[in-house]
A = this chain, B = another copy of it.
Amino acid sequence: MRHRIVIVGGGFGGLAAAKELRDPAVQVTLVDRRNFHLFQPLLYQVATGSLSPGEIASPLRGVLKHHPNTSVMLAEVVNVDLDRRRVILGHQATAARSELPYDSLIVAAGARHSFFGNDRWESFAPGMKTVEDALQIRRRMVMAFEAAELETDPGRRREWLNFVVVGAGPTGVELAGQIAEIARYTLRKNFRRIDPRDASVMLVEAADRVLPPYSPDLSASAKRSLERLGVTMMLATTVVDIDAESVTVRPPEGSAVRIGARTKIWAAGVQASPLARELASATGAELDRAGRVTVQPDLTLPGHPEVFVIGDMNRVSDGRGGVQPWPGVAQPAIQEGRYAAVTALARIDGERSAEPFRYDDKGSLATIGRLSAVADVRGVRFAGAPAWLAWLFVHILFLIGLENWLAVLSRWAISFVSHGRGQLLITGEQAAEHAGRAAATSTPLDAELTSTMARRT
């Protein structure tokens, strides 16, 4: 029988592993609970209405259709039985449960946002990991301008026009920059009672600079670009509380301040898939605060050279008691996926030892707005239009694999010329959700109307 390799997760890491494993000697099964790969670095553009979800997603079966040795399985991984070498699956499509045996396993189930123990903040300040998250954020942002247009009380109108982004990593910086551009340019002339330029975008970050993983001069450059767009930076500031109408922050000096803001977005932290915890407790591997399991320098679990844990789920031991500092972005995940695939194949052939995984850091990029970005390519740092062009080039190059590049490029071209954003649609459970959000502060008559509307829409 052929050697069976199971991959859990079709994100950057899992898909890179699957692509590397197009080898008739092995039988590969890629398990994911979604039927598509998501190009997460552009998800913020779905939230801010530049792109449509389909433009940054590719059905996994389509991507792997020319891999006859590979099956895709739409299922939820319930657990892993390391002793019996089986993955326990739940199937959405038929609501049945099954077991999938493996000889090698690559676990790449990723991470979700984390509210550091304040889970009730989630309903007020959604995070952004899935397509549905991004559409929800879009809905709230657009609806806030609609509500401001209707609101006659100046204080309440201000609450609808205040946007707070928590966390100034790449996603937070990109979101804040985009919302500011929307308010300044895209929505100009769209309203009759409000001027969208009165919107205020605030970016709250616990560290003392934006883009904390980047070099200080890139942080400074990103900060200047954001300020030019009118974003208010609140650095060295922590979030104390969040509710429907406000966020309370503690600045570096002085006491906590309550900011009236209806729209909050959480871009502050992530938590690894719960599978990491299960794998750690089954093997005695360490688990860090973000729920990541510490793996050996060859990315395997201690005592299980057949089980690789890659991407946002792991921290990699440096073999000297510490862990590697690699960031939770696409590049390390892709390289780890390829490494796991190659190493698993080598072990079938009896190769026992493996060179430790090494991350080849090609650089970092973050875009802030039109012709505005920061880049650090193998130590060469630059900003502005050249960085923005580098960003464009790299993203188009990556998207080509997704067969969506022509649609995306044409959309970007039109947006660039027109300052437009064709995708600011409010879709999904909009009426019900938004009505519920507003009803919290409304009179009984209003609440009655709300439920009528929710039913009708």
Within 8 Å of chain B (Cβ to Cβ): is A312? no
The reply to whether B151 and A422 contact each other, CB–CB distance below 8 Å, is: no
Q: How many copies does the complex hold?
A: 2
Q: Mark A353-389, 1 if CB is under 8 A from B, else 0.
A: 0000000000000000000000000000000000000
Across the interface, name the chain B residue whose C-beta is closest to A61.
Answer: B190
A393 lies within 8 A of chain B by Cβ: no
> Is A434 interfacial (CB-CB < 8 Å)?
yes
For residue A420, give the distance in angstroms from its CB to the closest CB of chain B. Answer: 6
Interface presence of A445 (CB below 8 A): yes
The residues in A between 410 and 433 inclusive whose CB is less than 8 angstroms from any CB of B are 410-411, 413-414, 418, 420, 422-431
From A147, A413, A427, name the one whose CB has the most chain B CB atoms within 10 angstroms. Answer: A427
Q: Report the bound CA distance from A403 to B417 in whole Å.
A: 12
Known: A92-B431, A94-B150, A457-B33. A403 touches B414 (CB 8 A): yes
Q: In the bound complex, how far is the Cα of B147 from the Cα of A150, in angstroms?
A: 46
Given A93-B147, A192-B71, A422 and B403 contact (CB-CB distance below 8 Å)? yes
A22: Cβ under 8 A from any B Cβ? no
User: With A35-B146, A190-B62 known to touch, is A95 a contact of B452 (CB < 8 Å)?
Assistant: no
On whether the beta carbons of A435 and B92 are closer than 8 Å, the reply is yes
The majority secondary structure among interface residues of chain A is mixed
B428 and A132 contacting across the interface, CB-CB below 8 Å = yes
Question: For the complex, what is the distance from the CA of A190 to the CA of B64, rounded to whole Å?
Answer: 8
A72 to B426 CA separation, bound complex (whole angstroms)? 15
B54 close to A92 (CB less than 8 A): no
A202 CB within 8 Å of chain B:
no
Are A95 and B423 CB-contacts (below 8 A) given A403-B414, A407-B411?
A: no
Q: Which residues of B contact A449 (CB under 8 A)?
A: 78, 90, 95-97
Q: How far is it, in angstroms, between the C-alpha of A71 and the C-alpha of B438 when the chains are bound?
A: 23
| Residue A55 at the chain B interface, CB threshold 8 Å | yes
Question: Please, what's the 1-or-0 string for A45-61, where 1 marks a CB less than 8 Å from any CB in chain B?
Answer: 00000011111011101
A438 touching B93 by the CB < 8 A rule?
yes
Count chain A residues whose beta carbon lies closer than 8 angstroms to a beta carbon of B: 81
Whether, in the assembled complex, A236 has its beta carbon less than 8 Å from a beta carbon of chain B, the answer is no
**Chain B residue contacts of A404, Cβ below 8 A:** 422
Residues of B within 8 Å of A439, CB to CB, are 95
Tell me if A427 and B150 are in contact (CB < 8 A). no
The CA-CA distance from A254 to B191 in the complex, in Å, is: 61
| Contacting residue for A54 out of B97, B187, B422, B442, CB 8 A | B422
Residue of chain B at shortest CB distance from A76: B453
Would A146 and B53 be within 8 Å (CB), given that A93-B438, A94-B151, A95-B449 are in contact? no
CA distance A343 to B449 in the complex (A): 35
Question: Is B420 in contact with A54, judged by CB distance below 8 angstroms?
Answer: no
Across-interface contacts of A430 in B (CB, < 8 A): 92
- Chain B residues closer than 8 Å to A34, beta-carbon distance: 425-426
Q: Cβ of B62 and Cβ of A420 under 8 Å apart?
A: yes
List chain A positions with a Cβ less than 8 A from chain B: 33-36, 51-55, 57-59, 61-62, 65-66, 68, 71-74, 76, 78, 90-97, 131-132, 142-143, 146-147, 149-151, 187-192, 402-404, 406-407, 410-411, 413-414, 418, 420, 422-431, 434-435, 438-439, 442, 445-447, 449-450, 452-453, 456-457
20 new A-B contacts at CB < 8 Å, known A59-B190, A96-B446, A97-B446:
A34-B425, A35-B425, A53-B425, A61-B187, A65-B189, A72-B190, A73-B150, A74-B150, A76-B456, A78-B452, A90-B449, A92-B435, A92-B438, A92-B457, A94-B438, A95-B449, A95-B450, A96-B442, A97-B445, A131-B425
The 5 closest A-B CB pairs, nearest first, are A52-B54, A52-B52, A93-B147, A61-B190, A406-B410
User: Could you write out 14 A-B pairs with CB less than 8 Å apart?
Assistant: A54-B423, A62-B422, A76-B453, A78-B452, A92-B143, A92-B430, A93-B147, A95-B439, A95-B442, A95-B446, A96-B449, A406-B410, A428-B428, A429-B429
